[in-house]
Structure 1
């Protein structure tokens, strides 16, 4: 301020505070509110953190997201029936993004019938499974030391879901993306099976989310699903 000839009143007028506030910033080391500090720094042509280093401190983060219902250490700890139960209770939308997830059909043999019933009642169903010929799928098998097992399971998943191809309200596609998370969405609830390098999906954590407004964790994963879906290829009837 001294170098540029600023008075307390001059700066106070620019940032719309009392001149006594500016005087306290200078002489008593007081820190203004962040928005006022940023405006003052811009007015003086200085870095706000150089003037008030305490503003470098990050704002306290929310300890727990309001959308997080539960966090399970491993998918193996979460009852397989809970996946199917959540899906078949959906009324408007079901989205599934996996490489294979054949455990669903193995644990719930009438899953296809239940999905057909949901679709008949007006539920929109989108299922994206892994393309066995994708380099990303094959790389995943190597990372998990599972060899060609992942590719075989992708082909098995296609066999499971093929009877749903062409059913009104249901669409099945193949994707070749890197699968960072498996996603199971039923309306405003979602199970996210996070993936860990070198660990089979059943040994990785599961987030149970419930949507709570725009822009939260739920929407982040929902947008991720949509992005993968846009790259996926439709599967023709045979």
Structure 2
């Protein structure tokens, strides 16, 4: 297999060695050596970091990645995929929330399973806000036509409305805590989102299926990726439509 002359020339022009580029990207120097001398193609996430360091276009350095992008079956942003939310112990959610350093964003209709299984949830959120985290929680408006429609679609009836009110009762004591914002929304909830810094649990919703029976994917932000960003932007869009909750 021929070497990568474009990469070799770019590195030489910038004064990069195998070792220095490897250190910048966070990989073994032997990997860079294989790219240069054997023409090996790195994983896309690694290639993105290397191209940014070199100030080059990723597809100019590795043209094969242009085709690989459309053919790739699994995104590097996907950490794990669970068949249904019920497969995740609540400790997965709690551990994720506990790891927060900068932000926590929660978009749900109710998700009362968190408070039911982890009574210290409000204490945890207070602690995180006190440590400087931005906490935003968007709950379903029980009187919204979309919430009522979800109850019919999932054959849950008025239960979903009751759970929205119960969720608001759980979270309302946080409404006056500095660093915590609590709002209600009436949007169609396509996915429940639990974001912590650069990680996110996405509970996908399927028509006629309760949320606990729908899949969950664990995403992480990867430079150049679009999945995480798409859901983060969706949260922000819903947040702009939501109404602030007054403290009790």
TM-score range, shorter chain: 0.7 to 0.9
Task: Measure the CA separation in 1 of the matches of 2:220 and 2:70.
Answer: 23
Task: Measure the CA separation in 2 of the matches of 1:60 and 1:147.
Answer: 42
Work out whether residues 174 and 247 of structure 2, in 8 Å CA contact, stay in contact via their aligned partners in 1: no
Match of residue 130 from structure 2: 120
1:201 to 200, 205, 211: 211
Q: Which moved more, 1:193-202 or 1:79-88?
A: 79-88
Task: Measure the CA separation in 1 of the matches of 2:195 and 2:218.
Answer: 10
1:143-173 Cα deviation digits (max 9, x unpaired): 0010100000000000000110010000000
Task: Measure the CA separation in 1 of the matches of 2:79 and 2:225.
Answer: 17
Where does 1:123-134 land on structure 2 (aligned, <5 Å)? Answer: 123-134=133-144
Deviation at 1:97, TM superposition (A): 0.1
1:82 to 87, 92, 96: 92
For structure 1, the residue ranges without an aligned partner over 5 or more in a row are 1-56
Deviation at 1:215, TM superposition (A): 4.5
Where does 1:56-135 land on structure 2 (aligned, <5 Å)? Answer: 60-135=70-145
Work out whether residues 92 and 122 of structure 1, in 8 Å CA contact, stay in contact via their aligned partners in 2: yes
* RMSD, matched Cα: 1.5
1:75-124 Cα deviation digits (max 9, x unpaired): 00111111111012101000000000000001110000010000000000
Number of equivalences: 182
Match of residue 165 from structure 1: 175
For structure 2, the residue ranges without an aligned partner over 5 or more in a row are 1-66
Work out whether residues 134 and 180 of structure 2, in 8 Å CA contact, stay in contact via their aligned partners in 1: yes
Work out whether residues 104 and 111 of structure 1, in 8 Å CA contact, stay in contact via their aligned partners in 2: yes
Task: Measure the CA separation in 1 of the matches of 2:96 and 2:144.
Answer: 30
Match of residue 147 from structure 1: 157
Deviation at 1:58, TM superposition (A): 11
Runs of 4+ residues over 6 Å off in structure 1: none
- Quick one: structure 1 residues 135 and 71, their matched pair in 2 at CA, closer, same or farther if it must change by over 3 Å? same
Work out whether residues 81 and 107 of structure 1, in 8 Å CA contact, stay in contact via their aligned partners in 2: no
Tell me if 1:183 matches 2:183.
Answer: no
- Quick one: structure 1 residues 61 and 172, their matched pair in 2 at CA, closer, same or farther if it must change by over 3 Å? same
In the superposition, the TM-score normalised over structure 2's length comes to: 0.71
1:199-228 Cα deviation digits (max 9, x unpaired): 000000001001101452001000000000
Where does 1:2-81 land on structure 2 (aligned, <5 Å)? Answer: 60-81=70-91
Q: Which has more helix, going by share of residues?
A: 2
